[in-house]
Structure 1
Amino acid sequence: MKHKLLPGLLLALFAAAPVFAFEPFVVKDIRVEGIQRTEAGTVFNYLPVRVGETFTEAQAADAIRGLFATGFFRDVRIETEGDVLVVVVQERPAIAQIDFVGVKEFDQEALKKGLREVGLAESRIFDRALLERAEQELKRQYLSRGKYAAVIETTVTPLERNRVGINFKVDEGDVAKIRQINIIGNKTFKESELLDLFQLTTPGWLTWYTKNDQYSRQKLSADLENLRSFYLNRGYLDFNIDSTQVSITPDKKDIYISLSITEGERYTVSAVRFAGDLVLPEEEYRKLAAIKPGEIFSREKLTETTKAVSDRLGNEGYAFANVNAAPELDKEKREVAFTIFVDPGRRVYVRRINVGGNTKTRDEVIRREMRQMEGAWYDAEKINRSRTRVDRLGYFEDVAVETPAVPATTDQVDVNFNVKERPTGNLSIGAGFSSSENLVLSASIAQQNLFGSGNALTLALNTSESSRTYALSFTNPYYTPDGLSLGWDAYHRTYDPSESLSVAPYKTVSTGAGLRIGYPIGEEDSINFGLSADQTKITTFPESPQQYLDFCDPNKDDFDCDSVTSLVASAGWARDTRDSVIYPRKGNYQRVFGELSIPPGALRYGKLNYQYQHWFPIGRDFALMLNTDLGYAKGFGGKPVPFYKNFYAGGIGSVRGFDQSSIGPKDPITDDALGGNRRVIGNAEFFFPLPGTGMDRSFRMSAFFDAGTVWAEGDKAKLSDLRYSTGLSFAWGSPIGPLKFSLGFPIRKEEGDELQKFQFQLGSVF
């Protein structure tokens, strides 16, 4: 029977009048032709007619549209054979495989995963539009990596059983580098000084890592804002960036950036006034003003002023205070006066404190750091302090605080703390080289947030030619709700410096355990107490110093060196106001720690340590650290300080450039270090960014000056005994963990001092 083609396809695609019409008829049967993978039931579901129903021309158009909309078919026709409706389809091919050739910049499996998310994957229906979008997105990704010369050629190969293979052939080309950045219009400041503000730069010796020699629109926008802030903070109120031009060479290998600027005139501040609903005495506002009449205008100081006023009102419960500065320019005198308008708004209180983002850390670990209470008046200072305390836990990469208003209220807010967790486990590996110890290895595994509880557990191993230590410690920082901490330590330590040329030979094997508690007495201050028991076996050798032999002579003392027991009580106080634990720039750290042996232990001695560290910020990128470390020990009850409890100096952490424990009193026969009962250490360290890294804080260098020595009991303390060293230190927060290198050069040393010029440490998080 002759087939009759219905004009539904033309109706669906062109909305044109039918070439010819057909009379509606009652469908006696429906047949589907051309399907290979698609189920016939899928086609039936999109037909607006069933067997026994009347089929019309409008229904034919609807059927065509519906079947095309599935995306399964390349062509759809509806025909009739008498009263039989025949649906003829041509399926789109399926994707058999997707291959990448020449792709090195990206992981191929990651690319396939990205294509799968947009619908382009093996075994799925091939869609040319999706393929074109994928090709454009891949091209965009190469552009974001600075590979402007990348060429992508896509090939679709027909395969058997109505399938296709897709091949992305990529010629990545070279990364386009920034060859030159020009600033036009600067008169007051040198171009080199302005370019130092930029993160983008021309190729340098570290740009292989920072990628700052590759153009980025986001980085350029940030650099332009830094440039604008630089001028505005120096009084140039009329400063303007007239144009920005980014050009690339025809071979797409070199990028040139040109900026045209107008510096304008420099303004001084003529007056600062406060107006509006002041709430507080005007004199208090004036004390908060960082910008003063007669000074060169600084946008930074103006922002600091408005923020200080807003924060001060926030401390009084005015969470939504508006503080705006209105300038009045006198271009002839080059002066500007500011009227700071204050609108405190309504006083509000906190309804709820919500915590989010903590998938591992328990809510209570975060909430116990809160200083702002629910139901109390809003206090910006307490909220900021709460955020600082949560941040200083060290469990989170970022801590963000939001204070949205409670809907349908005018005097309530919620405080939302959103955290982003970071790895809190730490696997540290350290190594150093010296003429005495050769290779020194150390390792520790620690979890500072055990099972999200806020508790800390540490297992440490230290091994070298002379020592081996195993230590396990646990700390619960909130054993009681008011912040009483409880911890314990257990250790087994073997020390045998007989192979070392620095310390007089002896051997100790110690096993001990201790309990400690701590209690905060302020926001930055805490006190701690401890009690530990120790059993040590002391072994001396014929070549040991006479004082070591005398200490273990059973005829001169009433205890056996094969089993020396001691019970030691300790107490300490610490104060920490540093702005950061990892990268501090300001603040100070103080610590006093003392220990005292008590009966029934066999030893009788006391030790006292004091450390003071102060950080001075210098400009935006530099900092100076001064550190003092003092130690004193004394025996009592007619007994000396145990020689293995002596202080030592030299090495990393004290006087760099000298071998560990090589500074101080020497044995007159063997010239080995004996240690002493008094120690003084001083360090001055100037920190600065690594040249070529711009604003990247993961790189940090320092120039240091160290001094220190140890005196034996009975020796007169003389400054002439101090050893001095200087050198450079480099720290890098690398992807595998923190790296630290130190190169020290002794300035003053004595005969017998062992040197250790190069040291490094490597750590990794998991």
Structure 2
Amino acid sequence: MKFKSMYVLLAAAFASLSLAAQAFDPITVQDIRVEGLQRTDPGTVFNYLNVKVGDRFDQAQASEAIRSLFTTGFFDDVRIEVDGNILVITVEERPTVAQINVNGAKMLEKDQVKAAFKGQNLAEGRIFQQEVLEAAVNELKQQYFARGRYSVDVKTTVTKLDRNRVGIQIDITEGDVAKIKAINFVGNKVFSQSDLVARMSLTTPTWMTWYTKSDQYSKQKFSGDLEAIKSLYLDSGYLNFAIESTQVALSEDKADMFLTINLREGDLYKVGEVTFAGNFSLPTAELEKLVTAEKGEVFSRENINKSTAAIIERLGVEGYAFPNVNAVPTIDEEHKTVAFTFYIDPGKTTSVRRINIYGNNLTKDQVLRREVRQMESAPYDLAKIKRSKERLQQLDFFSEVNIDTPVVPESVDQVDVNINVVEKKTGNLNFGVGYGQGEGAIFQASVSQANFLGTGKRFAADINTSQVSKTFSLSMNNPYATPDGVSFGWTAYLRDTDPGEMDLGQYKISSKGVGFNFGMPTTEYNSLGLSVNVENMQFDTTKDSPTYVLDYIKEFGDSTMIYSLGANWGTDSRDSATFPTKGLLLKTSAEIGVPPSDINYYKLNFQSQYFYSLPTKKPYTFMWNIELGYGGVYSGSEDYPFYKNFYAGGVNSVRGYKSGSLGPRDNAGNSMGGSTRFVNNFEVYVPVPGMKDDKSMRLSAFYDAGNIWTYDQNIDFTSLQQSAGVGFTWISPIGPLKLIYAYPINAAPDAKKQSVQFQIGQIF
């Protein structure tokens, strides 16, 4: 059979097409035959041909058909021939990817590499295209570049397999991370090189960069650092400051990076007149108090932004949900001042139509709604909305809490409050091991559910063991036993204590008890608590036990029943419970033994912790802690019970002295504790050099003073045991770690000094 053939080649980028065979006359297609297909459905070819039986077909249509079939990416070769009036399409399909093997990936998981390839349309089961493979390799390199691996090498091997398939081998040599060798500033006169570098998260290698990785270049971090430097100048009065250019250079071996930042500092500006304009409903005197920028002081963008935010927030308290406040500057180049006019448009007062809650799949709606201070059908109040978010976050049931206030459609004076939460797992099964000097090795296991069945109730079962004590306890707490926020809880426990392990004398105490507690809020931030407790204690002594213990047991027996009432009050304005930088923590509590207890006693406790951010370039925090404890007896009781004694000394009170060792001693030299306790700590916290803004560790310098007095001793503050030293604290993955070096200043002759002290893991 003789064919008239037309062979059309697709040039690179489809710039032109040429016919390999002689021209043919247009035909009327009587049939279409497709040859060479293995996987592709013939219907796909017919769709791209744009011709059907009975149509006229010529060379121009043939060129267009070939172009369309090539652009599918399915074929390596396409030929169109005619046999009489029969159209014959012959194709050669591209192979499919049978498998992708990745070797040498350590920084990235193999699945991450394959996911990156899949994003470039290269995956097992898909059609193989060389240009797609090259694009995928380039994308993979970019991911390594973003992690500082500029010397990465990626080699690919494509192996043909049977049934028109290929296997792809990816061999990765990751190379070393490029380190920042130098950071240079050009044009800086106001601030030194070290001052500017201190503002950056990126650094040159230091003794801690193995941990922080801050010497590894990141484009995103570098952009943030440039903004931090800009903020430094703008907050220091340099209104026309600009970063004119930056250079990021890589050494020939791709191991070192060099950052150069060219600055134009400009002139220093001060604040001129501050005025207000617009339709504002607040008195001018009140607005002036909200503005922190004062005439004559150095211009600070931060102060202007804070002032604007303060005015917006204050208007929000008045019910204006969408106020518009703009601080418009007027620059006086001659006198180098900048005046500001705050243009205020409060908008319309707004009310809240509905409060909608989303994302609480487990937690019941009422658990969230009882924490919300903004009410439905009430005036909009930004302060209440912000406080609602704080209270929801304090529940610790959610990893995210977001609140937005969209306008109600077709109503300009109403908003909805939409609360979106992301629940986190609140059930814990924990096992832990720690060590504390004074407590010894500690094993801790607990099962707890902070949001029991989504009701907000807390249930916990704990086992804690150390050389000093072993405790087994169960507890339950309902923070909203009444709609008004009165809480109720109970606890039951068994505890074995061996004071001999702390050099407090050779005796043991076994106790079991049950307690009930009630709490009620007195203000938005303060709370009052009450408790009722019943405890039975058994004493196990030997002939070597302390005399005061044997005398007590001789008078009252080797077991005692205690019925006690307790009350506590506290307030907490700290900005963090872990590493506070400002705020005040106050805690007071009282405990009293009541009839039919075997002995009538009382205990009073007071603690005050004050945190203050020092006005220094680096984030230094001053802390002043005072703890007072006093115990006594009443109603005919003569001896204060030794098992209610206070103790001091150790990592968490007066450092440099052995745990519990301060105060009077018995005839055998054992610490007795006492009925009066005083501890005072002054401490300055500083960041660890080289750690920048790391929030998990810090250094400190401290001065401690404290002592213990017995019931029949006069309180003498001249007898305070003192120490000074330095400390290191790290919130490690296994729990808090404290390392202390302290020097006892005026240790008594019989003091049990301990200059190096440490504690690992949380002590319960």
TM-score by length of 2: 0.91
Q: Are residue 590 (structure 1) and residue 580 (structure 2) matched?
A: no
Q: Report the equivalent of 1:171.
A: 173
- Alpha-carbon shift at residue 736 of structure 1 (Å): 5.9
Q: Report the equivalent of 2:411.
A: 409
Q: Report the equivalent of 2:381.
A: 379
Aligned pairs (5 A) from 1:520-539: 520-539=521-540
Q: Report the equivalent of 1:601.
A: 597
Structure 1 pair 409–162 and aligned structure 2 pair: CA distance change class (3 A): same
In structure 2, C-alpha distance between the alignment counterparts of 1:604 and 1:757, rounded to whole Å: 40
Q: Report the equivalent of 2:656.
A: 657
Structure 1 pair 176–763 and aligned structure 2 pair: CA distance change class (3 A): farther
Q: Report the equivalent of 1:514.
A: 515
In structure 2, C-alpha distance between the alignment counterparts of 1:489 and 1:42, rounded to whole Å: 73
Q: Aligned match of 2:392 in 374, 386, 390?
A: 390
- Alpha-carbon shift at residue 721 of structure 1 (Å): 2.8
- Alpha-carbon shift at residue 503 of structure 1 (Å): 0.9
Secondary structure (helix, strand or coil) at the match of 2:137 reads helix
- One-letter amino acid matched to 1:561: D
In structure 1, C-alpha distance between the alignment counterparts of 2:236 and 2:26, rounded to whole Å: 84
Secondary structure (helix, strand or coil) at the match of 1:136 reads helix
- Alpha-carbon shift at residue 448 of structure 1 (Å): 3.2
In structure 1, C-alpha distance between the alignment counterparts of 2:762 and 2:128, rounded to whole Å: 48
- Alpha-carbon shift at residue 319 of structure 1 (Å): 1.7
Q: Any conservation in 2 of the 1:428–1:762 contact (CA below 8 Å)?
A: no
In structure 2, C-alpha distance between the alignment counterparts of 1:381 and 1:415, rounded to whole Å: 13
1:615-643 per-residue CA deviation (whole Å, 9 max, x = no partner) reads 11224622212111111111233333322
Q: Any conservation in 1 of the 2:434–2:762 contact (CA below 8 Å)?
A: no
Q: Any conservation in 2 of the 1:612–1:628 contact (CA below 8 Å)?
A: yes
In structure 1, C-alpha distance between the alignment counterparts of 2:453 and 2:120, rounded to whole Å: 37
- Alpha-carbon shift at residue 205 of structure 1 (Å): 1.4
Q: Report the equivalent of 1:158.
A: 160
- One-letter amino acid matched to 2:658: D
Q: Report the equivalent of 1:204.
A: 206
Aligned pairs (5 A) from 1:290-439: 290-358=292-360, 361-421=363-423, 424=426, 427=430, 429=432, 431-434=434-437, 438-439=440-441
1:6-57 per-residue CA deviation (whole Å, 9 max, x = no partner) reads 6788799657799424522433xx765434445667767878788xx53653
In structure 2, C-alpha distance between the alignment counterparts of 1:460 and 1:737, rounded to whole Å: 17
- Alpha-carbon shift at residue 584 of structure 1 (Å): 1.9
- One-letter amino acid matched to 1:278: F
- Alpha-carbon shift at residue 5 of structure 1 (Å): 4.7
Count of equivalent residues: 752
Structure 1 pair 117–238 and aligned structure 2 pair: CA distance change class (3 A): closer
- Alpha-carbon shift at residue 233 of structure 1 (Å): 1.9
Q: Report the equivalent of 1:610.
A: 606
Please say which of residues 441-450 and 384-393 is displaced more in the overlay.
441-450
In structure 2, C-alpha distance between the alignment counterparts of 1:430 and 1:709, rounded to whole Å: 31
In structure 2, C-alpha distance between the alignment counterparts of 1:658 and 1:689, rounded to whole Å: 26
Q: Report the equivalent of 1:246.
A: 248
Q: Are residue 571 (structure 1) and residue 564 (structure 2) matched?
A: no
Q: Any conservation in 2 of the 1:432–1:758 contact (CA below 8 Å)?
A: no
In structure 1, C-alpha distance between the alignment counterparts of 2:371 and 2:502, rounded to whole Å: 49
- Alpha-carbon shift at residue 276 of structure 1 (Å): 1.4
Structure 1 pair 39–293 and aligned structure 2 pair: CA distance change class (3 A): closer
Secondary structure (helix, strand or coil) at the match of 1:448 reads strand
Aligned pairs (5 A) from 1:208-227: 208-227=210-229
Q: Report the equivalent of 1:496.
A: 498
In structure 2, C-alpha distance between the alignment counterparts of 1:736 and 1:90, rounded to whole Å: 61
- Alpha-carbon shift at residue 287 of structure 1 (Å): 1.7
Q: Which runs of 5+ in 2 are unaligned?
A: none
Q: Are residue 73 (structure 1) and residue 71 (structure 2) matched?
A: no
Percent of paired sites with the same residue: 44
- Alpha-carbon shift at residue 398 of structure 1 (Å): 4.3
Q: Any conservation in 1 of the 2:735–2:760 contact (CA below 8 Å)?
A: no
Structure 1 pair 429–680 and aligned structure 2 pair: CA distance change class (3 A): farther
Secondary structure (helix, strand or coil) at the match of 2:470 reads strand
In structure 2, C-alpha distance between the alignment counterparts of 1:746 and 1:287, rounded to whole Å: 49
- One-letter amino acid matched to 1:717: I
In structure 1, C-alpha distance between the alignment counterparts of 2:734 and 2:84, rounded to whole Å: 75
Secondary structure (helix, strand or coil) at the match of 1:755 reads coil
Q: Report the equivalent of 1:130.
A: 132
Greater relative contact order (Cα < 8 A, sep 6+): 1
Q: Any conservation in 2 of the 1:7–1:19 contact (CA below 8 Å)?
A: no
Q: Aligned match of 1:23 in 24, 27, 36?
A: 27
Please say which of residues 655-664 and 116-125 is displaced more in the overlay.
116-125
- Alpha-carbon shift at residue 401 of structure 1 (Å): 3.2
In structure 2, C-alpha distance between the alignment counterparts of 1:257 and 1:549, rounded to whole Å: 74
Q: Are residue 581 (structure 1) and residue 577 (structure 2) matched?
A: yes
Structure 1 pair 356–6 and aligned structure 2 pair: CA distance change class (3 A): farther
Secondary structure (helix, strand or coil) at the match of 1:222 reads helix
- Alpha-carbon shift at residue 362 of structure 1 (Å): 4.4
- Alpha-carbon shift at residue 464 of structure 1 (Å): 2.2
Secondary structure (helix, strand or coil) at the match of 2:27 reads coil
TM-score by length of 1: 0.90
Q: Any conservation in 1 of the 2:513–2:533 contact (CA below 8 Å)?
A: yes
Structure 1 pair 363–707 and aligned structure 2 pair: CA distance change class (3 A): farther
Q: Any conservation in 2 of the 1:199–1:223 contact (CA below 8 Å)?
A: yes
Structure 1 pair 472–63 and aligned structure 2 pair: CA distance change class (3 A): farther
In structure 2, C-alpha distance between the alignment counterparts of 1:736 and 1:111, rounded to whole Å: 31
Structure 1 pair 582–351 and aligned structure 2 pair: CA distance change class (3 A): farther
Structure 1 pair 661–738 and aligned structure 2 pair: CA distance change class (3 A): closer
Please say which of residues 191-200 and 34-43 is displaced more in the overlay.
34-43
Q: Are residue 561 (structure 1) and residue 564 (structure 2) matched?
A: no
In structure 2, C-alpha distance between the alignment counterparts of 1:703 and 1:441, rounded to whole Å: 31
Q: Report the equivalent of 2:724.
A: 726
Q: Any conservation in 1 of the 2:585–2:610 contact (CA below 8 Å)?
A: yes
Aligned pairs (5 A) from 1:268-287: 268-287=270-289
In structure 2, C-alpha distance between the alignment counterparts of 1:36 and 1:191, rounded to whole Å: 67
In structure 2, C-alpha distance between the alignment counterparts of 1:210 and 1:420, rounded to whole Å: 29
Secondary structure (helix, strand or coil) at the match of 1:54 reads coil
Structure 1 pair 245–551 and aligned structure 2 pair: CA distance change class (3 A): same
Structure 1 pair 269–46 and aligned structure 2 pair: CA distance change class (3 A): closer
Secondary structure (helix, strand or coil) at the match of 1:552 reads helix
Please say which of residues 520-529 and 615-624 is displaced more in the overlay.
615-624
Q: Any conservation in 1 of the 2:515–2:532 contact (CA below 8 Å)?
A: yes
Q: Aligned match of 1:681 in 675, 679, 682?
A: 679
In structure 2, C-alpha distance between the alignment counterparts of 1:155 and 1:737, rounded to whole Å: 48
Q: Report the equivalent of 2:268.
A: 266
Please say which of residues 466-475 and 57-66 is displaced more in the overlay.
57-66
- Alpha-carbon shift at residue 505 of structure 1 (Å): 1.8
Q: Report the equivalent of 2:691.
A: 693
Q: Any conservation in 2 of the 1:502–1:660 contact (CA below 8 Å)?
A: no
Q: Any conservation in 1 of the 2:448–2:459 contact (CA below 8 Å)?
A: yes
Q: Which runs of 5+ in 1 are unaligned?
A: none
1:450-477 per-residue CA deviation (whole Å, 9 max, x = no partner) reads 4544333333332222321122222222
Secondary structure (helix, strand or coil) at the match of 1:372 reads coil
Structure 1 pair 83–185 and aligned structure 2 pair: CA distance change class (3 A): closer
Q: Any conservation in 2 of the 1:318–1:378 contact (CA below 8 Å)?
A: yes
1:695-730 per-residue CA deviation (whole Å, 9 max, x = no partner) reads 232332222222222111101111133222333333
Q: Any conservation in 1 of the 2:35–2:90 contact (CA below 8 Å)?
A: yes
- Alpha-carbon shift at residue 479 of structure 1 (Å): 2.4
Structure 1 pair 416–206 and aligned structure 2 pair: CA distance change class (3 A): farther
1:661-718 per-residue CA deviation (whole Å, 9 max, x = no partner) reads 12222111x2111111111122222122211121232332222222222111101111
Q: Any conservation in 2 of the 1:8–1:57 contact (CA below 8 Å)?
A: no
- Alpha-carbon shift at residue 523 of structure 1 (Å): 0.9
In structure 2, C-alpha distance between the alignment counterparts of 1:231 and 1:117, rounded to whole Å: 42
Q: Are residue 711 (structure 1) and residue 709 (structure 2) matched?
A: yes
